[in-house]
C-alpha cells in the first residue's frame, strides 16, 4: 500500500510541477527553482549531463555524485572531487553538475526508474518531501559513525534534516541572503555601508545617476524574490508565511504589504532601481548598481571580475525584526541498489566532504559545521565573516512536504504585475496566496489522503 501511495505521489509531483517549471527559471547555481516533470528527451539529456571525472581506474569502486552547482561554486566542487579521487586508492567519484531545475526533475524521475546517484545534494526545503516520497535513505548510522551530534551545528539546525524520527541529510553549508555593495560607487557617492532601511534608501538615492542605480529588483526571478521576501522582509515586518494549520498561507497580511511595497517603492517611488529588470547580476558586474541582495554563491563569479571592487555585508534591518532567509545544502544518499563496496564508498566520500568542509567555504558557502567556521582558515576568508554573523538570526524553512512546490518555488510569479506597476501590492499578494493555497491543497490531499 505504501508503494502504491509513493508511486501515485511521485506521479503527482512529476505532473504538477511540470507546469511550475514552465513558469519559473533557475539561474546559475542559485537555490532550486522547482522540480519539473520529465519528457523523454529531457530525461535523456539529464542522463547525459556533464560528467567531471574519467572512468574509475582499475581496482577502484566507482560511485556517482549529482548536484546542481552549475554556477561559479561548481568549479570549487570539481576541485574537491578531484582532490578526493587523487588521494583515495579505493574509491572514485564521478560527478555530474546539472542545472537545479533539471536536477530536481532527474531526482524525481530516478525514484521511479531507479537511476540515481549514490550521493546527492538536497536543499532544506525539499528534505521532507523527498523523504516522504521514499527517495532518500536514512543517514543516522553515518552520522553516528562520523561522531556528529546536534552540538556540532547551530541550535535547531540539524532538526530540519529529521523526518518521522529519522535523519535524511548531513548539513553541509548555509547560504543566507546578504548585501553585496560596490565599493567604488559608495566612495564616489560619499556613503557608508547602510545598516538600516532608511540608510539604505538614502545611500541608493545618492548613488543613482544616469544609467547607474542604487540597487536592483529583478521582477521575475524566484532566486531573488524567495530569499528577499519569504523569510526576510516578510518576517522583518512582523509577518509569517503560513497559517497555524501549515497548509494555507498568510503572507497577504499588512506585513506582507509592507514587505512587497518596499520593493515596489525602490522602482517607482524612489526610482533607485531600473524598471522591468531581468538580470541584476549583470547590472552589478557592470558597475551599474550600488547594492544587490543575493546569496554567497555569487562570490566566486564576482571574484573573476577584475573590474569589480565589491564587499559583502549583513542584510540591513529594513523592518523592526532582525531576521533573514537562509538555505542549506544537505548531503544525501538516494535510494538505489548498491553493493557493500558502493555504500562504503558513498559514506567515505560524504565523510571526506564534511571533514574538509572548509574547502567548500572557498566557493562562498558558509560551512554548517561549527568547528569549520571557528577555524583560523575560515576567519581569513574576509568576505564570508559577515555572512557567518547572520547565523544568529536566520529563519529556516518549515518541515512540510508541500512547502517548496506548493509555495516557495511558485509564489513569485504572482508578484511580477506589482513589480511592473500593473496591479496593486494587495492584489498581487491576494493572487499569490490564492494560487499557493490551491497548489498546496492538491499536494496535501495526496500526501495525507
11 assigned to some structural domain:
yes
37 assigned to some structural domain:
yes
Beta bridge partners of 313: 179
**What is the rounded radius of gyration, in angstroms, for the C-alpha atoms of the chain?**
21
420 assigned to some structural domain:
yes
**Mean pLDDT for the stretch of residues 221-227:** 91
pLDDT per residue as tens digits for the range 353-384: 999 999 999 999 999 999 999 999 999 999 99
Non-local (6+) Cβ contacts of 205 within 8 A are 214, 270, 272
421 and 320 within one domain: yes
Q: Which three cell numbers stand for residue 112?
A: 521511479
pLDDT band at 334 (very low <50, low <70, confident <90, very high): very high
pLDDT per residue as tens digits for the range 154-190: 888 888 899 999 999 999 999 999 999 999 999 999 9
213 and 289 within one domain: yes
Nearest in space to 24 (alpha carbons), one of 263, 170, 220: 220
346 and 303 within one domain: no
Q: Answer with the one of 354, 372, 395 that is the final residue of a domain.
A: 395
340 and 202 within one domain: no
For β-strands 170-171 and 329-332, DSSP reports them as antiparallel
CATH number at residue 281: 3.40.190.10
Q: How far apart are CA 409 and CA 231, in angstroms?
A: 13
Q: How far apart are CA 425 and CA 260, in angstroms?
A: 7
Look up cell 541529510; give the residue. Answer: 169
111 and 52 within one domain: yes
pLDDT of residue 56: 59
Packing angle, helices 100-113 and 40-47, rounded to 10: 100
154 and 38 within one domain: yes
Q: How far apart are CA 263 and CA 39, in angstroms?
A: 37
Non-local (6+) Cβ contacts of 355 within 8 A are none
The number of distinct structural domains making up the chain is: 2
pLDDT of residue 10: 53
190 and 165 within one domain: no
Q: How far apart are CA 29 and CA 284, in angstroms?
A: 17
Whole-model pTM: value is 0.87
Q: How far apart are CA 178 and CA 311, in angstroms?
A: 11
Q: How far apart are CA 121 and CA 98, in angstroms?
A: 11
The parent domain of residue 90 ranges over: 2-172+328-395
pLDDT band at 54 (very low <50, low <70, confident <90, very high): low
pLDDT of residue 449: 74
Q: How far apart are CA 107 and CA 121, in angstroms?
A: 10
pLDDT of residue 26: 33
299 and 438 within one domain: yes
208 and 132 within one domain: no
238 and 146 within one domain: no
401 assigned to some structural domain:
no
440 assigned to some structural domain:
yes
186 and 104 within one domain: no
404 assigned to some structural domain:
no
pLDDT per residue as tens digits for the range 232-242: 999 999 999 99
Non-local (6+) Cβ contacts of 330 within 8 A are 121, 122, 123, 124, 127, 161, 168, 169, 170, 171, 172
Mean pLDDT of the chain: 88
For β-strands 324-327 and 394-395, DSSP reports them as parallel
pLDDT of residue 1: 43
246 and 126 within one domain: no
356 assigned to some structural domain:
yes
403 assigned to some structural domain:
no
Amino acid at each position: 500500500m505504501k508503494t502504491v501511495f509513493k508511486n501515485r505521489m511521485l506521479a503527482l509531483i512529476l505532473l504538477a510541477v511540470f507546469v511550475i517549471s514552465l513558469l519559473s527559471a533557475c539561474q546559475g547555481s542559485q537555490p532550486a527553482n522547482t522540480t519539473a516533470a520529465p519528457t523523454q528527451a529531457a530525461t535523456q539529456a539529464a542522463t547525459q549531463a556533464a560528467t567531471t571525472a574519467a572512468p574509475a581506474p582499475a581496482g577502484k569502486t566507482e560511485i556517482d555524485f549529482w548536484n546542481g552547482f552549475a554556477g561559479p561554486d561548481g568549479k570549487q566542487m570539481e576541485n574537491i572531487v578531484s582532490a578526493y579521487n587523487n588521494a583515495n586508492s579505493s574509491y572514485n567519484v564521478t560527478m555530474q553538475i546539472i542545472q537545479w531545475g533539471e536536477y530536481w526533475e532527474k531526482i524525481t524521475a530516478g525514484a521511479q526508474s531507479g537511476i540515481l546517484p549514490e550521493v546527492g545534494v538536497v536543499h532544506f526545503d525539499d528534505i521532507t518531501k523527498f523523504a516522504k516520497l521514499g527517495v532518500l535513505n536514512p543517514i543516522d548510522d553515518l552520522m553516528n559513525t562520523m561522531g556528529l551530534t546536534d552540538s556540532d551545528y547551530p541550535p535547531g539546525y540539524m532538526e530540519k534534516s529529521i523526518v518521522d524520527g529519522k535523519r535524511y541529510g548531513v548539513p553541509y553549508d548555509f547560504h543566507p541572503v546578504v548585501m553585496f555593495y560596490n565599493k567604488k560607487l559608495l566612495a564616489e557617492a560619499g556613503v557608508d555601508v547602510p545598516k538600516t532601511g532608511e540608510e539604505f534608501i538614502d545611500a541608493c538615492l545618492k548613488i543613482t545617476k544616469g544609467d547607474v542605480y542604487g540597487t536592483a529588483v529583478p521582477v521575475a526571478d524566484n532566486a531573488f524574490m524567495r530569499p528577499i521576501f519569504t523569510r526576510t522582509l516578510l518576517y522583518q515586518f512582523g509577518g509569517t508565511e503560513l497559517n497555524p494549520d501549515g497548509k494555507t498561507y498568510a503572507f497577504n497580511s499588512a506585513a506582507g504589504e509592507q514587505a512587497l511595497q518596499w520593493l515596489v517603492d525602490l522602482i517607482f517611488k524612489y526610482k533607485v532601481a531600473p524598471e522591468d529588470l531581468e538580470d541584476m547580476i549583470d547590472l552589478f558586474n557592470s558597475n551599474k548598481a550600488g547594492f544587490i541582495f543575493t546569496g554567497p554563491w555569487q562570490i566566486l563569479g564576482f571574484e573573476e571580475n577584475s573590474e569589480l571592487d565589491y564587499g559583502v555585508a549583513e542584510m540591513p534591518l529594513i523592518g523592526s525584526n532582525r531576521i533573514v532567509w537562509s538555505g542549506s545544502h544537505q548531503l544525501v544518499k538516494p535510494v538505489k541498489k548498491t553493493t557493500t563496496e558502493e555504500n562504503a564508498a558513498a559514506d567515505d566520500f560524504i565523510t571526506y566532504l564534511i571533514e574538509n568542509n572548509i574547502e567548500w567555504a572557498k566557493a562562498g558557502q558558509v560551512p554548517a559545521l561549527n568547528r569549520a567556521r571557528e577555524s583560523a582558515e575560515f576567519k581569513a576568508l574576509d568576505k564570508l565573516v559577515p555572512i557567518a554573523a547572520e547565523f544568529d538570526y536566520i529563519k529556516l524553512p518549515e518541515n512540510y512536504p508541500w512547502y517548496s512546490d506548493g509555495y516557495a518555488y511558485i509564489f513569485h510569479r504572482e508578484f511580477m504585475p506589482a513589480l511592473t506597476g500593473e496591479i496593486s501590492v494587495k492584489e498581487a499578494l491576494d493572487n499569490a496566496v490564492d494560487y499557493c493555497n490551491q497548489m498546496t491543497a492538491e499536494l496535501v490531499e495526496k500526501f495525507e489522503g
